[in-house]
Every structure is written in C-alpha cells, then in structure tokens.
C-alpha cells in the first residue's frame, strides 16, 4: 500500500531523531512492500525563522492531506528565556493540535526489563509496569482565555472543559482498557476544581456502559506520588491536558529515560506521532540524542494505519537494541559504551530488514 506521511522534523534534535524514524519506516516499507511518501513541513522555531510564523498555512495543508504525521521536537531556549516574546514556537504545535482537532494523546509507559537498572526507582517497584496515559489534548488551561493586565501585574489562564470534550476521549480510554487489564484511573483535582468535578461526573456516567472495566479516581497530587511508589497499579490513566503533561514526564522516569516515550495524538481525521521529549538544543547536531522515542512513535503510526505486524517489527527491533545495549548515553551507565543517534537508527533498520530475510 501507498501512504503519504507528513514529516515535521522541527527544532533542536528533532531532525536527527526523525531521520532515524524514517530509516525504520524505510526498512518496513522494503520488508513489507509498502510505499511511504514523505512530505516535509515546517513547525516551531525553525518555521518562525523561515516564515515569521510558528505554523505556516502550508504545514496545515500538508498535514491535513496526509495519512499520518511524524513529528520531531519543538522549542528553542532563546524563546524560553524571553518571557516577553510574543511569538513562540510552542504556539505552532498547540495551534496544529487544535486545527486538526487532535484531542486524544496516548503515551505508553513501561519498564523495559533490560533498562530497569537505569531508573532511579527500585527494581521491585517498577518491574512489570505497563500503562497508557490518555491525555486530553485540545482543551483545558492550555486553550482557555489568557490575559495579562495593562500594568503587567496580573495574568490569568482559564481552564474550560465541555461534556463533549470529556466524553470523546473517555470512550477511547475505556475501549483501550477493554483490550488490556480492564482498569481506568481518572486523575483529577475534583476537591478543588469545577472542571475536575465535570470530568468525574461525566466519566462516572460513561463507565456504566463498560461494566467490565474498573474505574478508580485519584487526585492529581496523590497520583504523582503513586506513580513512583506503586506504578504497577495502573492500566489506563485518563486525565485532562495539563495534568497529563506533567504526569507523563514524571512517568518517563519509570522507563529509564524521557528519550523512550513515544506518543500519538489522534483526531477524527488526522493523527500525529511524536516523542514526548523536547528539542534538547544543547545536543543539536551532535548525534547523541536518543532516537528511540521517535522510532517508537513511528511504530505507533504504523499501528494507527492498521499495520500491526509492521509496528511489532519496530517494537521488537527496539527491544533488541536495548537488550544488546546499542543505545545512546542517556540510557547507558558507562558513557564510553554509548553509541550515536544514527548508529541506533542503523541498527533498528538493519534488524527490521534481516528479520524479514529470515522469515
Ligand atoms: C508535550 C509538550 C507540549 C505540551 C509543549 C511543547 C507545548 O510539553 O507535548 O508534552 O505541553 O503539550
Ligand atoms: Mn510535555
């Protein structure tokens, strides 16, 4: 089959990790007889530099007309350190999520057996951990009205949710749990926030349609603790935009590196796949960033296209690279043994190709 993939390398290490994901996709294309047609687009700081806008219209068009979007990373420290900057790279990504209505963000977290030593958490606490974070991505405080008073002494961000916004991701989270350990944990702050109370009411109502699923509730502050003291209890975590951002970064500690967490952002018409890590500018062009989150994102992309065997091949190759220790320095105890971004990508691509030869 032929698929059109919008490729957005983005900022910092984005281009180099996306290159490795493309190597993996090319190996899949060859082994399984597909054609992936890449259409490159600009987003973020690099787009501001070239066009003046973080999200040029052309990027929206390329993304809309794709079967899937592969994205690298966003951000440039020069904007982070300038609170008065009016145009920011991140606005581009947020606008793209909104424009394409990519409301359901899924972030798989697991403790890889070969990497358990790499986490600062105790082996017995994390071994066997395997859960999904379902983060609502187009609502909440990220998208509510933002204001700064004329004298600059007051600022506000408003958090808004509607029942419809909560409902659509809740169904997806429950459907995911049906295929897993049949448990959904709603993370909210319903003792304080009206939006959280609306989440709790709506999700509790919807849960009645899924009697085989156990629904649990956790306040977000408690959830941050439970994530590192007893992460094995989780199967599917369902939560709003801001809480999902925070707890998914925290959860990456379980896997041993933020460079390992992939994500999908799904809407009715389009879907985008990206690592949860940022642009890691200090490492830009140095061939040392971990490409596995980007490669695993390509795996999620294949799954989304219904290419499950192909997605499994990527996952197996990643497991193998971890087992053999062909990894970048973020997941190496001894830095001198670490390999480069591109060598990890080469290994993954070769493994996919040779695996197919042996079939
Ligand atoms: C993420 C990122 C983004 C977010 C930023 C870059 C806007 O941290 O995808 O997790 O907060 O959603
Ligand atoms: Mn984040």
- What CA–CA distance (Å, rounded) separates 217 from 201? 11
Domain match, 134 and 40 both: no
To the question of whether residue 86 is assigned a binding role by annotation, the answer is no
Span from the CA of 106 to the centroid of ligand 2 (angstroms): 12
> What's the per-residue H, E or C state across 170-229?
HHHHHHHHHCCCCEEEEEECCCCCHHHHHHHHHHHHHHCCCCCCEEEEEEHHHHHHHHHH
Domain membership flag for residue 117:
no
- What CA–CA distance (Å, rounded) separates 80 from 164? 34
Under 8 Å CB-to-CB from 38, ≥6 apart: which residues?
5, 6, 7, 22
Span from the CA of 14 to the centroid of ligand 2 (angstroms): 15
Domain match, 178 and 237 both: yes
pLDDT score recorded for residue 334: 52
Find where tokens 């879907």 sit: 271
To the question of whether residue 107 is assigned a binding role by annotation, the answer is yes
Domain match, 141 and 177 both: yes
Domain membership flag for residue 222:
yes
Domain match, 56 and 142 both: no
CB 97 within 8 A of CB 137: yes
Domain of 40? 1-102+267-359
Q: What is the ipTM of this complex?
A: 0.99
CB 331 within 8 A of CB 259: yes
Domain membership flag for residue 116:
no
Q: Which ligand is nearest to the CA of 94?
A: 1
pLDDT in tens, 80-115: 888 888 899 999 999 999 999 999 999 999 999 988
Q: Which ligand is nearest to the CA of 107?
A: 1
Domain match, 186 and 240 both: yes
Among protein residues, the one whose CA lies closest to atom 12 of ligand 1? 245
Domain match, 206 and 279 both: no
Domain match, 294 and 272 both: yes
pLDDT score recorded for residue 81: 84
For the chain, how big is the Rg over CA atoms in Å? 20
Last residue of a domain, one of 238, 257, 276: 257
Among protein residues, the one whose CA lies closest to atom 9 of ligand 1? 276
Q: Which atom of ligand 1 is nearest to the CA of 137?
A: 12
Domain match, 243 and 305 both: no
CB 155 within 8 A of CB 147: yes
pLDDT score recorded for residue 155: 97
Total structural domains in the chain? 2
Residues of the chain with pLDDT under 70: 332-336, 356-359
pLDDT score recorded for residue 336: 59
Domain match, 166 and 190 both: yes
**β-pair partners for 233:** none
Contact 73 CB / ligand 1 (< 6 Å) = no
To the question of whether residue 180 is assigned a binding role by annotation, the answer is no
Would you state the torsion angle of the CA atoms of residues 283, 262, 105, 178, taken in this order, to the nearest 10 degrees? Answer: -170
Among protein residues, the one whose CA lies closest to atom 4 of ligand 1? 245
**β-pair partners for 187:** 218, 239
pLDDT score recorded for residue 359: 44
Q: Which ligand is nearest to the CA of 71?
A: 1
Span from the CA of 223 to the centroid of ligand 1 (angstroms): 20
Cα 33–chain centre separation: 27
List, in sequence order, every beta strand (DSSP E) within the chain.
2-10, 35-40, 68-73, 104-110, 130-136, 146-148, 155-157, 183-188, 214-219, 236-239, 262-266, 271-275
Contact 317 CB / ligand 1 (< 6 Å) = no
Last residue of a domain, one of 206, 236, 257: 257
CB atoms closer than 10 angstroms to residue 179: 8
Which DSSP category does 352 fall into?
H
């Amino acid at each position: 089959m032929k698929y059109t993939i919008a490729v957005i390398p983005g900022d910092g290490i984005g281009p180099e990790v996306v290159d490795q994901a493309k190597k993996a996709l090319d190996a899949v294309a060859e082994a399984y007889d597909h054609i992936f047609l890449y259409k490159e687009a600009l987003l973020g700081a690099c787009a501001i530099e070239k066009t003046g806008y973080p999200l040029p219209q052309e990027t929206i068009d390329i993304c809309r007309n794709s079967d899937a979007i592969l994205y690298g990373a966003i951000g440039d420290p020069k904007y982070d350190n300038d609170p008065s900057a009016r145009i920011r790279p991140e606005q581009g990504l947020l606008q793209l999520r909104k424009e394409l209505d990519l409301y359901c963000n899924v972030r798989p977290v697991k403790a890889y057996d070969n990497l358990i030593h790499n986490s600062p958490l105790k082996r017995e606490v994390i071994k066997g951990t395997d859960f999904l974070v379902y983060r609502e991505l187009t609502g909440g405080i990220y998208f509510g009205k933002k204001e700064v008073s004329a004298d600059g002494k007051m600022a506000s961000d408003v958090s808004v949710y509607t029942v419809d916004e909560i409902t659509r991701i809740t169904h997806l989270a429950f459907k995911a749990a049906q295929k897993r350990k049949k448990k959904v944990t709603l993370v909210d702050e319903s003792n304080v926030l009206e939006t959280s109370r609306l989440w709790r009411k709506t999700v509790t109502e919807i849960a009645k349609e899924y009697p085989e699923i156990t629904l649990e509730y956790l306040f977000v502050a408690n959830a941050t603790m439970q994530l590192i003291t007893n992460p094995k209890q989780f199967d599917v975590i369902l939560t709003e935009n801001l809480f999902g951002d925070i707890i998914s970064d925290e959860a990456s500690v379980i896997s041993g590196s933020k460079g390992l967490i992939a994500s999908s952002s799904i809407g009715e018409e389009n879907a985008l796949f990206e690592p949860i890590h940022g642009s890691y500018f200090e490492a830009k062009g140095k061939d040392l960033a971990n490409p596995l989150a980007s490669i695993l994102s390509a795996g999620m992309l294949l799954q989304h296209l219904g290419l499950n065997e192909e997605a499994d091949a990527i996952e197996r190759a990643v497991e193998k690279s971890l087992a053999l220790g062909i990894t970048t320095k973020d997941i190496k105890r001894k830095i001198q043994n670490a390999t480069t971004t591109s060598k990890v990508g080469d290994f993954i691509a070769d493994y996919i190709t040779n695996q197919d030869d042996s079939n």
